[in-house]
Structure 1
């Protein structure tokens, strides 16, 4: 039987995991968790050393979304009592970038609910990004505004947007169990459109939505095929009032195995521990960074995150270093 260390060596030599090898990671015994993390860390350290990228998100438009995504408190089918508001003013978005800089977050993520941006909303984002890049030259600006049209992607690129996020969320086979108001291919096409416009592609997943382990493997493989530069791995934080209310399938140990799988399957990519890490990884959060090399700081879209000083203490205790290096331009133009 191939050990995880041997498998890590093969991955570093260019091997792509088979489905059987991927399943062996997700189904590994808990007593093998530390050897698995050690092997994932070998890959992570090879490409990223002990550096951790920090990301901060701003929810510039909340609720009011016509999509029926079952996990989302902002969707039309949600009864969750969240704050709802239309697009923020430019000044508020720019102020958020300063907060990100104060937290040493190298990436600032501008997010808006909805199927896709209206022209007025895109105008606000474009104007905001231009001013942000003028003030924070080395900050990576990521936009997450839903499904894009070609001219919208071009405008974002011209404004200075470095990265565009549109998560696949789940596997193609499981997609219709999560939402029917758009297709899996709609999501992939938006990522490809951003990539074609010269913007670094970011796409990730939400684990814990009643999918199978084979679905999780398919997600990791899809993102490998898409060549996403940044991969946020979210763990479902089921919100009361959403169709997935009450769903609680995850353990901290399984979440760590998922992070290891994504590192093995996408060895050169930024793997980000994202939403739900606090409630799913719990006391094992620090172990996640032996596989992943990126986290969010601050709050998420509709749920609270861990206090930023606790994140900083966690990184210091691990002996890890905050990565302030700007996004490499060659990554954007691939």
Structure 2
């Protein structure tokens, strides 16, 4: 009688077992994930999903962006359509008034987003702009059950404290890339400037949201270095952007990503940050294309509707994608029916992002 054939766990399943037991992956293992064969992708995703499922089940958190101030920026970030020197055809306007920002909060609520992100171009806000945003945030908090994340550029201690006192839950300030590669994408401020803003935000009592942009000409080592820097910072939320090359920017000709590499990057972040919210951010539709849904086997969050100066897919398409996976949108601590966008009859309490 023949003995049954058994197979030993793959290297990715074995690595997931270790992570689930509290192990922190090494830089070498991070590089192995990014350089892994496409033939291993399904197994890598399967292993990664086990980690995602332990910490987040089938929950998906949605974010909604509002570009509160567009263009007119003195910084030269090469990826950005709003940067100094950009010839991209985009709207340009100063800080939106209270009415427009409240309209954005209403749109976020209607889009079933748990978090409303107020984003402004520029090196950093003036004190007057901070007071304006803080005043609007206080009104939003009194009218909507939304968490607020602000991305306003470089902040000082007093500005961070004002935002926290107004009810801002989280500050977004992306590292964007590694320390070593940073000067290749921006020369008007430094990597250390970004770390300082994250420092003052944390000291003021706000959570940190910080991530990167994959596909700007960096090498795998840069992505891994950024991954581990974010681990040291103990960020609560990590947006993983994929470069959407915009005509008129200095990176307009850069187009080096394919969906499979994007998925490997998401797996890297989940393996390195097992219990941290990982968000599929800008460039999702352009770079993941028909494989968008697979990204949620690693990530547990994504933006809904549009980005800063580029369009996203319709919110209804996002709800349908989530429902097709058998996943559930989480908003304000309640499970939502991903098809209808209405509260589930079996709603359970869960921490809103």
Same-fold status (TM-score > 0.5): yes
Asked if structure 2 preserves the Cα contact closer than 8 Å seen for 1:70 and 1:77, the reply is no
- Structure 1, unaligned runs of 5 or more: none
State which structure, 1 or 2, has the greater radius of gyration over its C-alpha atoms. Answer: 2
Structure 1 residue 123: Cα displacement = 1.7
The counterpart of 1:105, out of the listed 107, 113, 120, is: 113
CA deviation vs aligned residue, 1:240-268 (integer Å, no higher than 9, x gap): 11110110010000000000000001111
Indicate the larger mover: 187-196 or 227-236: 187-196
Contact 1:140 1:326 in 2 (8 A): no
The corresponding residue for 2:256 is 249
SS of alignment partner, residue 231 of structure 1: strand
* Separation of aligned partners in 2, 1:91 and 1:6: 53
Residue 224 of structure 1: aligned partner: 231
How big is the shift at 1:325?
3.8
Query: Take 1:81 and 1:103, find their aligned partners in 2: how far apart are those partners?
Result: 27
In the alignment, is residue 271 of structure 1 matched against residue 311 of structure 2?
A: no
Q: Deviations over 1:148-176 (max 9, x none)?
A: 00000000000000011000000001000
Provide the TM-score with structure 2 as the length reference: 0.91
CA RMSD in angstroms, aligned pairs only: 1.8
Structure 1 residue 34 corresponds to structure 2 residue 37: no
Matched residue, 1:297: 304
Higher mean Cα deviation, 230-239 or 17-26? Answer: 17-26
Say yes or no: does 1:84 pair with 2:92: yes
- Give the stretch that moved more between structures: 18-27 or 226-235: 18-27
| Equivalent residue, structure 2, for 1:8 | 16
3-state SS, counterpart of residue 289 of structure 1: helix
The count of aligned residue pairs is: 331
Contact 2:333 2:352 in 1 (8 A): no
Q: Distance in 1 between matches of 2:154 and 2:166?
A: 18
Rounded to whole Å, the distance in 2 between the matches of 1:148 and 1:317 is 41
Mapping for residues 230-245 of structure 1, pairs under 5 Å:
230-245=237-252
Per the normalisation by structure 1, the TM-score is: 0.96
Query: Take 2:227 and 2:103, find their aligned partners in 1: how far apart are those partners?
Result: 35
Residue 53 of structure 2, aligned match among 40, 45, 52: 45
**How do residues 126-205 of structure 1 correspond to structure 2 at under 5 angstroms?**
126-136=134-144, 138-205=145-212
Give the match for residue 24 of structure 1.
32
Unmatched tracts of structure 2, length 5 or more: 1-8, 335-348
8 Å CA contact retained: 2:114, 2:352: no
Task: Give distance in 1, aligned partners of 2:184 and 2:147.
Answer: 34
Q: CA deviation at 1:42?
A: 0.5
- In terms of mean alpha carbon deviation, does 85-94 or 11-20 score higher? 11-20
1:331–1:149: structure 2 CA closer, same or farther, 3 Å change rule?
A: farther
Q: Which residue of 1 aligns with 2:341?
A: none
Secondary structure, in 3 states, of the residue corresponding to 2:142? helix
CA distance in structure 1 between the partners assigned to 2:291 and 2:32 by the alignment: 21
Q: Which runs of 4+ in 1 moved over 3 A?
A: 325-328
Name the CA distance, whole Å, in 1 between partners of 2:321 and 2:297.
12
